[in-house]
Each structure stands twice: as structure tokens, then as C-alpha cells.
Amino acid sequence: MKRIGARGKGSSPVVTPKYSQSVVLGAVEVRFPDGKSATVTPGRDRAYPHLRSQAPDTVPYYRFAATLLAGARRVLDFGCGSGLGTVALRGAMPEAEVTAFDTDPVAMQFAACAVPTARQVAATVPPSTFAAAFDGVVLVDVLGHSGFPLALLRTVRDCMELGGKVVVVEPRVHSSQVLTAPACCAAAPNQLARALKAAGLSPVAWFDATEAFVCCLAEAVQEPGVHELGAASDALGRGQIDEAVKCYERARHAECREVRSEALVGLAEVFVAHGDGDGATQCLLEAAQDATDARPPALLSRFLLGMGDYASALELARRAVHIDPLDPSAAYAVAQASEAMGCEDADARWSVAWRLAPADPSVASGYAVFCSERGQHDDAIRALERLRSYGGGIGVPFHLTLALVLDHAGRHEDARFEAKIAHKLAPDDETVLEMCKRLEAA
């Protein structure tokens, strides 16, 4: 591991705006010298110049990325945010064409004004427009904001020409971490390496950024099976299950171990969703031959748990945690199995599982119910409110779980309110009707 220095080359001038308080709570009005304006909300998702926020200072990593991409002609700042990193790239790579891209239109609006010397791409432009357009990409503090980091890495790979380089910098995972939306996961080198290889990006070098960050330089390669993984994912998105299975079947025979593992795990998930437990088990047993991947034994553990074989489930879950104690699926499996077996460390296991994956509805709800049943009401409510802060995926099960937790905490009116929301979403659901009836009678 090589250590990143704190200093880098100079930066391109940033156009600093004037700020004023907005009528919107937590927001700030921005006005640039050319008269353009925007309304921004400082938070964990991105930093703005001279505004305090929870987002980490990533500019030194952009400067270091520029040294790793020396000689690149076309560089993409994928997930540029407010453009502070783009400024650093422009200053350190004056001969390169630097393109800034972000899916947030407000961020792009700000970046267009703050870094007028960089090429700006509208947030509405799909990344597929960039097919093989860049020989250098910078991806800093972006993957952890995506619920599907592998899919995002495939998109990044599609933007790159063969042999192009990408610098990936992500917060380092640890078991006591506290993630704030939109950050829903952090990175471990082994997990990041697996995802990179499955996306057609081969790690070239790792750098010891700090205790807080992981940094990797990877190269775009032609890896058989990667296209099939992407095609399977696209087919699932279209509801074409048979086509997805065919793509996964082709990818499961790829030479690359990581591609094979992704295909087998993907197949198992499809089979589970369609009631084929035998097919799923066969895929996971084959995937478990890769002794570096914690997911197959973790998923097998959950199957056994569902069948009531708690002891075997705990054994497999512990095997998964031994392979990778920071793998979210392993942590979740061992938490469930430890609870089922009444283990003394179940509390600690659940806490780690939740800290690794606070945006996962199953993990957050399971942890909340576990805490609630043991009188740890504040922890239970905090887990569900943290889940709510991530936005998408909140539905009837969430409101029912929160109603249950609030009722256990003695907050009966709040519990009835959540139950009413669930009833509005699903007025004929028997579970919802039963919950509403019980709470009204209390």
C-alpha cells in the first residue's frame, strides 16, 4: 500500500459565490458574480465552498488522482457534486479535457458556475452517452451513496476506453461506523476489488489514503462474462426473468472468479424470488467454492434459518463472518442466527449488522424489532428513523414496524399515526387492519 500525501499540485480558480439564508429550512441561497443563482442544502452528499457540511474534504484525493492519471487526455469527474474536485483536476491537468457529471441537477447547476473552465454535462444526460469516451475517470465518495455500487461501476466501465484508468476513493468501512444519508455503505479493499473485477475493472495499485479512506487505481479490461452480468441486470429490470437466467448461466462459466461468483449469487436470488429453493441452494453451494466470498455461506445460513435449522444456520453464518467480518450479508446472517439461538452476543451482532447496512430495510427493521423487544426503544426508533432518511423503499412494512416499535415505547398516538399511513397505502391489507384495530383498542 502506498500512502497518499496531503499536498498536491495547484488548483484552477473557483468562482466563489455569495451566500444568504434561504426561506427553506436548512437551505442556502447562492448567487454568482454573473447573476446566476441556485438554492443548495449542505449535507453529507456534497460539500460547497466555504459552507460547513457533513461531507468530508475530498480535494486532496482529487489532486492525488490527477497524479495517477498523468497523461490522460479526456478525464471524467463522475459524481462531481459542487465541482470542488473538478477545480482541483483542472488545475493539476491543464492539458486534459475535464468533464464534470452528476445526477443531481442542482449540483450540476452550481458546478457549471463554479468551474466554468470544465466541460459540463447536463444531469439529465444518461451516462451511456459517454460510451468509451474517456481514458481517465475519477470516482470519489460516490459508490457509497449508491444502493447498487456494482451497477454503478459497470456504468463507469462503459464510459471508459479499453486500457483507461479509474481512480476510486471511498470511505473505509469499520464495524462502529455511523453512516448518514445518502451514504448507505462504506468500502473494504477486498469487497471493492471484487466489485471492480466483476465490472471489468482490474485493480492496478492500492494506496493507503488514511484510516478513513480506501483508494484504488484500476484499469478498464476486456473481461468475458462482464457484459452478460450487465445484460442479466437489465433483463431483470425489464421483468424478463428467463432472459436474465440465460445471461447469468453464460456468465457463471466465465474465467474470472469474481464474475462467476456474481453470476451464481444473482441466479440464486432469482431462484429464491421464484420459489426454486433447490436451484438457489445448488448455485450457492457452487459459489461457496470461492473461499474468499462471504455471501454464499451467509445466504445459505438464512435458508437454513427459514427451515428452522438454527444450529446449522449459526455455523454457516459464523463461517461467513470468519471469511469477512465486515461483509453486510454475513453480519446480517450471524445476527439473525445468534438471535434465534439465544446467543449472548446477539445484541452486539445486530448492532454491527445495522451499522454496516442502515439503509437495508430488512436489516434496519430486524434490528429495530430486536431492540424493541428488549426495551431498547430509543435504539429501535433511531434505526427506523435513519432508514426513513434514505427515502426510497419506504412502504407498508416500514410503517407497520414503526407503529409496533412506537407502541412498545409507550408512544401510542404516534403509533396510531404510522398505522393510519399504512392503512392509507394498503386499505385492504389484513395485517394493517389488525394493527389498526389493536392500536385503537389500546
Q: Give the Cβ contact number of residue 28 at 10 Å.
A: 17
How far from the centroid of its chain's Cα atoms is residue 49's Cα? 25
Please give the pLDDT value at position 121: 60
Question: Does the pLDDT at position 12 exceed 70?
Answer: no
Q: How much is the mean pLDDT over the chain? A: 90
Tell me the pTM.
0.90
In contact, 92 and 9? CB cutoff 8 Å: yes
Please give the pLDDT value at position 122: 55
- Max mean pLDDT range (3-12, 44-53, 183-192): 183-192
Helices and strands per DSSP (H, E), number in the chain: 18, 11
Question: Does the pLDDT at position 134 exceed 50?
Answer: yes
176: number of CA atoms within 13 Å, CB side?
1
Please give the pLDDT value at position 215: 95
- What pLDDT, in 10s, does the model give residues 79-119? 988 888 988 998 899 999 998 888 888 888 888 777 776 66
Query: Which domains are delineated in the chain?
Result: 2-19+55-220 (3.40.50.150), 358-442 (1.25.40.10)
Please give the pLDDT value at position 128: 66
Reading phi first (left if > 0) and then psi (alpha if -120 to 50, else beta), residue 342 is in: left
How far from the centroid of its chain's Cα atoms is residue 437's Cα? 38
In contact, 235 and 245? CB cutoff 8 Å: no
- What pLDDT, in 10s, does the model give residues 21-35? 876 777 888 888 888
Query: What is the grid cell recorded at 192?
Result: 471493492
> For a pLDDT cut of 90, what percent of the chain falls above it?
71
Please give the pLDDT value at position 119: 67
- What pLDDT, in 10s, does the model give residues 370-409? 999 999 999 999 999 999 999 876 899 999 999 999 999 9
- What pLDDT, in 10s, does the model give residues 270-327? 999 898 999 999 999 999 999 999 999 999 999 999 999 999 999 999 999 999 999 9
Please give the pLDDT value at position 205: 96
* Radius of gyration of the chain measured on its C-alpha atoms: 23
Please give the pLDDT value at position 4: 38
> For a pLDDT cut of 70, what percent of the chain falls above it?
93
Reading phi first (left if > 0) and then psi (alpha if -120 to 50, else beta), residue 389 is in: alpha
pLDDT band, very low/low/confident/very high, at 6 (cuts 50, 70, 90):
very low
- What pLDDT, in 10s, does the model give residues 180-209? 999 999 999 999 999 999 999 999 999 975
